[in-house]
Amino acid sequence: MKKERSLAGRLLQYGALTLFVHLASACSDQTPPPPPVANQAPAANAAEPAAAKAEDAKLVVAFGDSLYAGYNLDQGKGLAPMLEQALNARGVKARVVNAGVSGDTSAAGRARLAFTLDGLPRTPDLMLLGLGGNDMLRGLSPKETRINLDAILDEAKRRGIKVVLTGMMASPNMGPDYAAAFNPIYPDLARTHGATLYPFMLDGVIGKPALLLPDGIHPNDKGVTAIVGRLAPLVAGALKG
């Protein structure tokens, strides 16, 4: 019960903060192109052992919004590189590709999904999916968010890609009706599609200033480390499974 009250308190703070700061406004509304992961030829003098090591590694694509993209963080401090380090430290050889785009809604993610996956060197072994936060902060229809995420999961299934779905929760200032429609999206879709669920992407971070950027929503490098510490075991299990 104490833990539930603590989470509720952090979510109330989360709701207050979102009155002033939105993921959608903190990031560019003009969605930049997907990261340059596609069809890049290896350097002419690339060492063969390095190439063999890369081929042996599991390929993970982190497909999401600013929480995945490493918003306002130094290179190497975002979710993808930190998760890659954590997986390798656990003995899971993995390459994690950053396919996060700041400001992305679920509809924008759905629109670029095929382009992103087709641009990878091969079909990924796993996709981390983290979209819907910007939908919520913009007050978009939870029904449309569900439809878009369902389509993304369908496409992953069609391509034989396992998924870890990182969930989001409605800010309390969105009201109980919105929360009742939005919050079940992630557990429902995870059950339907057999995806591994991480229920709340910001769990353990939201409401803790030491783990957040000044906007009070995006994690700083310490916040990313905290998230990765919770997320890495799930990802490792999904890869091994």
Q: Which of 102, 171, 193, 218 is labelled catalytic?
A: 218
List 22, 65, 66, 193, catalytic entry: 66
CA angle 235, 231, 116 (to 5 degrees): 60
Dist. CA 126–CA 157, nearest whole Å: 11
Cα separation, 131 vs 109, whole angstroms? 7
Q: Which residue is listed with tokens 């769990």? A: 203
CA distances (Å), origin 117, targets 38, 46, 188, 210: 8, 24, 24, 35
Candidates 125, 203, 215, 221; catalytic one: 215
Mark whether 193 is an active-site residue: no
Whether 218 is catalytic: yes
Q: Which two tokens stand for residue 168?
A: 């989001």
CA dist 150 → 81, 153, 229 (Å) = 27, 5, 27
Taking alpha carbons only, the member of 25, 30, 34 closest to residue 64 is 34
Q: Which residues pair with 129 in a beta bridge?
A: 63, 165
Residue 22 falls in the annotated catalytic set? no
Measure the CA–CA gap between 222 and 45, rounded to whole angstroms: 36
- List, by residue number, the catalytic residues: 66, 215, 218
